[in-house]
Structure 1
Amino acid sequence: MTRTDEHVLALDLGTSSARALVLSADDAAPIPGALARHKISPAYGNDGSATLDLHEYVEGLLGCLDELEQNGHLDGIGAIVLSSQWHSIVALDNRGAARTPVITWADTRSIDLGLGPSFDEQAFHARTGTWLHRLYWTRRIPWLLSDDSPAAFAGLPDLVLERLTGERATSVSVASGTGTLDLATGAYDAEALDIAGVKADRLPSIVPTGWTGTLSKEYERRWPGLVGVPVHPPTGDGAASNVGTGGYDAGVAAVTVGTSAAVRVVHPIENAPELPWELWRYRVDDKRAVTGMAFSAAGNLHAWLTGVLRLKSDEPTDVEIGASHAIAIPFMAGTRPPAVVPGGSGVYFGLSFDDSPADLLAAALQGASLEIDRGLRTLDRLFDRQLDVVLGGGGIDASEWWRRCLTATFARPTTVCAEPEVGARGAAAVALGLSPEPGGEHLTPVPDEVSRVADLRLRYEPLRQLAVQASKVFN
């Protein structure tokens, strides 16, 4: 635990950027001006690949620390924490060197597994919180083994931790995102390893939440202010974002909008409610789990449309919420498991010559809001209550219209997290036992907007099913 007069250095390993920032140790609030960012450009291929250059990524992250050092922000640091994208994988040789780029969550390559009728995927899902989907190592490792003979496998956060400390280890949180963890025990699942075709010694060792390492001598010389500072194991970005937004108990659903979007609830792993097939479940730390639903089209959808439509404003302010005649089904990047809609399946219905670029943007953001609402209502049923909602993430911070749209779609009040860096904030909170509050505005749904969205949902649902069917024909 840090002293309250010390700061926390947070490393946030995102898909579109790597960031290093300094936070207050008592409430995980960012220190003004103490942020460095390295832009990341994933490489996408026609074969479904979506990769990151590991060397470029890590060197860019180290450069962020150099920038903080040069500006005097690495003095008085009492802890180093990490938040990272889930689901990445790198194949390693017998010397620990990378044989592949970082394969990200967006990569669609893998192999199908013919496990036969004896395999019980319902039991597997209940135990691991995941499915046999390309997102997870259970299908990615056999695919990587089919073309090469890697000696070991690790994720991006595991390799960053190894680079900094010399120890290749992972957290129960990051391991849960691989699809190979037994959620109840916090150890690798024997059946998942058997399906993947590896033994546990070929994967990073899982360390407890209280584990800490220290920087290697090389980096202690590079950043003298960090000598002896404990480095905490990484937290998966979804879990970190929930906690950082203020959604860290079973009565609150956190909706976060970044490149993608998700709605999640943090709750104790002990006596957790039975997991519905439609939801995933990962771990936050040794005692808590996070259950939710994720969506592939969110901030990426917003950024793409504002560029394609050449909008002067990234807000459809002239369009009333729920009033767009056009309906967008936001399957541009496909759907997350267990649904199997592939990328390239986005659809607009009801277009007319009267529609403006702002109408098309509004329809897309409304469609994304309705998708998130599907997940929220599923969580309401699971926890047997209407959950409170807190909104957070860069997409939320950037768009007032979208905040109002989500509030009307959920038909309940929402609280907006005032801090956009929710992943870094949450990683600090998990490592140091903090309970950050949202601290932002409270939104009340506007009755007319709620009514229009309710009417729109009646048209949206059958068109969504039509889009699902069309995706099977088109792809």
Structure 2
Amino acid sequence: MPRSDGPVLALDLGTSSGRALVLDETATPVPGALARHKVQPVYGAQGEATLDLDGYVDGLLACIDELHAGGHLEHIQHIVLSSQWHSIVALDNSGKPLTPVIPWVDTRSIPPELPADFDERVFHARTGAYLHRLYWSRRIPWLRSVLGTSATAFAGLPDLVIERLTGERLTSVSVASGTGVLDLATGRYDAEALEIAGVSPSQLPSIVPSRWAGRLSPSYAMRWPSLVAVPVHPPTGDGAASNVGTGAYDESTAAVTIGTSAAVRVVHPIADAPELPWELWRYRVDDERAVTGMAFSAAGNMHAWLTGVLDLPSPEPEGVEVGSSRVIAIPFQAGTRPPETVPGGSGVYFGLSFDDTAADLLAASLQGTSLEIDRGLRMLDSLFGRELEVVLGGGGIHASSWWRRCLTATFGREAEVCSEAEVGARGAAAVALGLSPSAGGDRLVPDSADIERVARLRPRYESLRSLAAEASSV
């Protein structure tokens, strides 16, 4: 794998934590050089989910302080960022935040007024996004309806972190693509999306090319002297970074990543990209590449919640064979991503009986998530005209060997596990520095009996999924 010219400081801006870690010149995490600030979104009954901006940024800076105190920032040559997509903060005309960070999981927004000739499928093909509550085309009109004219500018969490570090409020083509108001082909804000949102480009962060590099402002250069003049690279959206970080950085390979949520994605050139199906989204990785895929809101979060609710002694559904549970679980606890409109609170179990155990319920939920991911994988197979190679990555993958076995049986193909847990940070470094990391982990071969059981289970799952989606959609 190509190497950088020295160690890299990676900042990973997640929904459940902010992290700072040091990677070596091959984008491999340096043992012991990681600091974490746990983050807990504040939830409300009306779909609210917010993060305290100052608390988040101060916690992230404290992580860098921790690495500095441990002597881990010596000889750092690059600073890279991986960040959650879709977040938004409303600002006043002096740049002061008027709201907390509103992350992807917040479900508040309003349908905007649309041009008379608006065609959402054409809009989707151009922006890779939908008129959905995730995106700024709906979030900005909603924030304006709440805040009035005081909201004069808008930015995402990574844009404000970059501004805090360098004094410049800007964004990358990758992060901007997650707002849903970017023209994917040109890499500039989309005129129709801006019209719908009711903003001008000057009210949003400037988009810089992937080769841009900033420098820490003087106060931080004094705080961390070893980082003086170290280039700060544009942030990469976490989904794109995770793909590259697992070793899935071209159109031959799909990455399945399971963290708080889950996704299946393929990285490919933006030039001559295949026509985007309605069911899939598309964002940018950098100036040259795009990433196409499908995301799922219930994954690692569901696993953690269920093991707690059921008071399970193990994160594994012990004693249950893959595909054998009579119970069918539809993992709609956090709703669905666009274009489906299933709201949060729609998770369903079908077929419960008095002899079902906690392990049966956990197995059914992990199986349901696996079948959801497989639905996206099969669409990507069709889009790219081949059965794709598969790599698995993320904390959820490392948390459960049963889930890994279930995924490979559901996919009906071999898969390679990424040996590195910090795929987002690794991928951000790889994107910024032109590295090509490999998965480097075990190769999993699905069990034929598991495959047969899942194949028998699939028609019942799909039928009940349709029923649950129809009953819950809004």
TM-score by length of 2: 0.98
Show the 5 A alignment for 1:236-385. Answer: 236-385=237-386
- Displacement of 1:67 in angstroms is 0.4
Contact 1:3 1:78 survives alignment (8 Å): no
- Matching residue's letter, 2:198: G
2:472 alignment partner, SS class: helix
Distance 1:386 1:350 in 2: 33
Q: Give 1:92's aligned residue.
A: 91
* Secondary structure, counterpart of 2:55 in structure 1: helix
Alignment of 1:68-87 (within 5 A): 68-87=67-86
Cα distance between partner residues in 2 of 1:16 and 1:231: 23
Q: 1:461 to 1:4 in 2, by over 3 A?
A: closer
Shift of 1:317: 2.6
Find the counterpart in structure 2 of residue 443 from structure 1. 444
Gaps of 5+ in 1: none
2:348 maps to amino acid:
V
Q: Which runs of 4+ in 1 moved over 4 A?
A: 2-5
Taking a change above 3 Å as real, the CA distance of residues 363 and 167 of structure 1, as seen in their structure-2 partners, is same
Residue 116 of structure 1 deviates from its aligned partner by 5.7
Residues of 1 paired with 2:4 and 2:460: CA distance?
A: 53
Distance 1:294 1:158 in 2: 23
Is the Cα contact below 8 Å between 2:112 and 2:137 reproduced in 1? no
**Residue-by-residue CA offset, 1:405-448 (whole Å, 9 max, x unaligned):** 00000000000000010000000000000000000000011000
| Alpha-carbon distance, 1:318 to partner | 1.3
Q: In the TM superposition, what is the alpha-carbon distance from 1:187 to its structure 2 partner? A: 0.4
Judge conservation of contact 2:3–2:435 (CA < 8 Å) in 1.
no
Partner residue in 1 for 2:20: 20
Tell whether the 8 Å contact from 2:327 to 2:364 is kept in structure 1 after alignment. yes
Sequence identity of aligned pairs in percent?
Answer: 73
Secondary structure at 2:441 match in 1:
coil
> Is 1:395 aligned to residue 411 of structure 2?
no
Provide Cα deviations, 1:244-277, integer angstroms capped at 9, x if missing partner. Answer: 0000000100000000000000000000000000
SS in 1 for 2:77: strand
Name the residue aligned to 1:113.
112
- Shift of residue 151 of structure 1? 1.5
Give the match's secondary structure for 2:23. strand
Q: Are the aligned partners of 1:130 and 1:280 in contact in 2 as well (CA < 8 Å)?
A: yes
Which residue pairs with 1:203 in the alignment? 204
* Residue deviations 1:344-366 (CA, integer Å, cap 9, x gap): 00000011111111110000000
Instruction: List per-residue Cα deviations over 1:115-156 (Å, max 9, x = no partner).
Output: 265111111000000011110000000111112221100000
Q: Which amino acid aligns with 1:405?
A: C
2-structure distance, mates of 1:338, 1:470:
16
**Contact 1:173 1:234 (8 Å CA) reproduced:** yes
1:40 equivalent in structure 2: 39
Tell me the number of residue pairs that the alignment of Structure 1 and Structure 2 aligns.
Answer: 471
The AA in structure 1 aligned to 2:107 is T
- Aligned-pair RMSD on alpha carbons? 1.0
Distance in 2 (alpha carbons) for counterparts of 1:136 and 1:279: 15
Give a deviation string over 1:79-100, Cα, whole Å, max 9, x none: 0000000000000011111100
Q: Does 1:458 align with 2:450?
A: no
Shift, 1:303, TM fit: 0.4
Shift of 1:469: 2.0
Matched, 1:63 2:62: yes
- Following superposition, the deviation at residue 470 of structure 1 comes to 2.0
Which stretches in structure 2 are left out of the alignment for 5+ residues? none
> 1:182 & 1:469 partners in 2: Cα distance?
32
Distance 1:4 1:125 in 2: 37
Distance 1:103 1:452 in 2: 42
Q: Which amino acid aligns with 2:68?
A: E
Per-residue CA deviation, residues 291-325 of structure 1 (Å, 9 max, x unaligned), is 00000000000000000000000111311001111
Q: Distance in 2 between matches of 1:448 and 1:317?
A: 17
**1:353-409 CA-partner distances (Å, limit 9, x unpaired):** 111111100000000000000000000000010000000001001111111100000
Residue type matched to 1:82 in 2? Answer: L
